[in-house]
């Protein structure tokens, strides 16, 4: 076993960033931040409370109402966003090692997430320059056009899995649209979020446009959601938390975009390319340590190829390299936090009573410390089982057989979630009909989760509310005001005329 890697110049205290300044909490409160390999405290972070959120929102509101950011031309904003992308790419190795240290994600996968973060800023920089709005003409009578305006202060609440990339997913379109922001990152993983402040300042983002408040969700997140001067909340995270945010947004009728949990099916028909399906479904549930909302954590396999699929899948799962996240050969690292590790392991024990254990089922040999879980595979899992129905968010997969297209669809749709689905078949008619019938916001045919930033990202049922990606993100962060201009005398009924 290798010696645990600790990045150089690691901060021992992480502060908020409000109005262009690094600051502690008003009341001085902090919380401990652990690294998931040793589970030792490596830093404290300022713990935001209502007063800190109030300061951040005030700074963001002032920057929106009196500052230049919402009013500058799209090309000027785009140049700033491209400089942000340049800065992210220039320090991708540093970002990756900090992200890996903080989250337990394998270093090669963390590096990929840094590159995706840069691409998010480039994409929205280009999009706002190309943005066109609608004009409608009634010949000789009227012209109506859409005036798009940034909404105001956007509250962004982000999760602890791939935190830097998912923060960029919200920050890029919010800033591109001319909004100012208050970001509340997940308390488990505040390290990489702290880098945004200097990246933005160097790129030319005015003070107050970007504000960061660390803290516990029930304190800092709750205060942000309830603040009357924050008209928008974008949240990515767990479904129960999303329901709480939904209720708390109601009082002020806030705009909401919520990408929540998933229990996504991968449906493998007998005519599929099994080699490709096995490659994809292994990657789909075990990459990012299984801590991904779109994980294909339920695999439904047609009966005639079921035994072969299970045998081959389990053999590959047993060969996955689990180890120190900073080792380039590592494919599954350490789960993010002891609390989450305990949750995942509790599901592993439940699974032993609900399915046939084919691989994993505990802690890997030789990794006695840290939040390590062996890639775990259960077969013969009934659709009523908890490991079939509930999101585990770890390296655990349930495999279930089916005998017909109708049964496969019933199984695929038989959970409360509806984020993603993966369909494996060479029958084109079946592929499209099944894809359109499945309850999922996103479907991939004969592929894994490959994103096109122009397309909508979001789920149905308990997996979310609204969509982000492409113009849908711009729509969320802007108001579309209709302006009507008359071109001829208006014949209005003359009320009150005798």
Distance CA(22)–CA(13), nearest Å, equals: 11
- 37 in Cβ contact with 325 (< 8 Å): yes
Residue among 295, 260, 278, 325 nearest 392 (CA): 295
Is the distance from CB of 272 to CB of 426 less than 8 angstroms? yes
Length of the chain: 498
Q: What is the number of other CB atoms lying within 10 angstroms of the CB of residue 31?
A: 19
Local structure of 100: helix, strand or coil: helix
Asked if residue 191 lies in contact with residue 33, where contact means CB atoms within 8 angstroms, the answer is yes
- Cβ neighbours around 299 below 10 Å, total: 27
Cα 40 to Cα 145: distance, rounded to the nearest angstrom: 58
Residues tagged active-site: 259
Alpha-helical (H) ranges within 294-337 are 303-318
In contact, 347 and 290? CB cutoff 8 Å: no
| Calpha distance 191→7 (Å, rounded) | 12
Nearest CA among 222, 153, 218, 213 for reference residue 25: 213
The rounded distance, in Å, linking the Cα atoms of 120 and 90 is 15
Strand partners, 145: 135, 483
Could you identify the residue written with the tokens 């009227």? Answer: 142
Q: Find all residues with CB under 8 Å of 132, minimum gap 6, and list them.
A: none
CA–CA distance, 275 with 360 (Å, rounded to integer): 21
Per DSSP, the three-state class of 475 is helix
């Amino acid at each position: 076993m290798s010696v645990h890697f600790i990045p150089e110049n690691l901060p021992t205290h992480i502060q908020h960033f409000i109005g262009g300044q690094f600051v502690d909490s008003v009341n001085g409160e902090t919380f401990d931040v652990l690294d998931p390999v040793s589970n030792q405290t490596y830093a404290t972070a300022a713990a935001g409370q209502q007063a800190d959120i109030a300061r951040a929102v005030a700074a963001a509101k002032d920057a929106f109402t009196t500052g230049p950011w919402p009013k500058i031309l799209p090309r000027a904003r785009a140049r700033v966003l491209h400089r942000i992308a340049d800065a992210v790419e220039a320090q991708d190795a540093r970002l990756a090692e900090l992200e890996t240290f903080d989250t337990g994600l394998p270093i090669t996968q963390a590096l990929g997430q840094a590159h995706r973060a840069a691409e998010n800023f480039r994409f929205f920089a280009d999009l706002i320059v190309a943005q066109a709005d609608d004009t409608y003409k009634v010949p000789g009578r009227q012209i109506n056009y859409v005036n798009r305006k940034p909404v105001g202060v956007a509250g962004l609440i982000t999760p602890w899995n791939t935190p830097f990339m998912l923060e960029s997913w919200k920050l890029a379109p919010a800033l591109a649209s001319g909004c100012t922001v208050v970001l509340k990152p997940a308390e488990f993983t505040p390290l990489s979020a702290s880098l945004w402040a200097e990246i933005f300042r160097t790129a030319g983002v005015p003070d107050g446009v970007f504000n960061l408040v660390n803290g516990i969700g029930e304190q800092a997140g709750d205060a942000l959601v309830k603040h009357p001067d924050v008209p928008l909340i974008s949240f990515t995270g767990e479904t129960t938390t999303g329901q709480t945010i939904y209720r708390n947004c109601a009082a002020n009728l806030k705009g909401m975009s919520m990408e929540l949990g998933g229990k996504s099916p991968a449906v493998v028909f007998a005519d599929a390319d099994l080699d490709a399906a096995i490659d994809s479904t292994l990657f789909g549930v075990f990459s990012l340590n299984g801590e991904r909302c779109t994980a294909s954590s339920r695999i439904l396999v047609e009966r005639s190829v079921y035994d072969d699929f299970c045998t081959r899948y389990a053999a590959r799962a047993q060969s996955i390299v689990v180890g120190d996240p900073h080792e380039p050969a590592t494919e599954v690292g350490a789960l993010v936090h002891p609390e989450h590790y305990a949750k995942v392991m509790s599901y592993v024990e439940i699974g032993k009573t609900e399915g046939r254990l084919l691989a994993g089922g505990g802690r890997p040999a030789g990794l006695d410390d840290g939040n390590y879980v062996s890639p775990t595979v259960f077969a013969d899992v009934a659709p009523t089982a908890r490991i079939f129905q509930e999101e585990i968010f770890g390296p655990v997969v349930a495999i279930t057989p089916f005998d017909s297209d109708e049964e496969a669809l019933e199984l695929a749709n038989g959970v409360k979630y509806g984020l993603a689905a993966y369909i494996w078949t060479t029958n084109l008619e079946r592929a499209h009909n099944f894809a359109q019938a499945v309850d999922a916001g996103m479907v991939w045919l004969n592929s894994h989760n490959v994103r096109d930033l122009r397309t909508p990202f979001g789920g149905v049922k308990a997996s979310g509310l609204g969509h982000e990606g492409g113009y849908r993100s711009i729509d969320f962060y802007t108001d579309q005001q209709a302006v009507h201009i008359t071109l001829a005398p208006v014949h209005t009924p003359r009320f009150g005329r005798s």
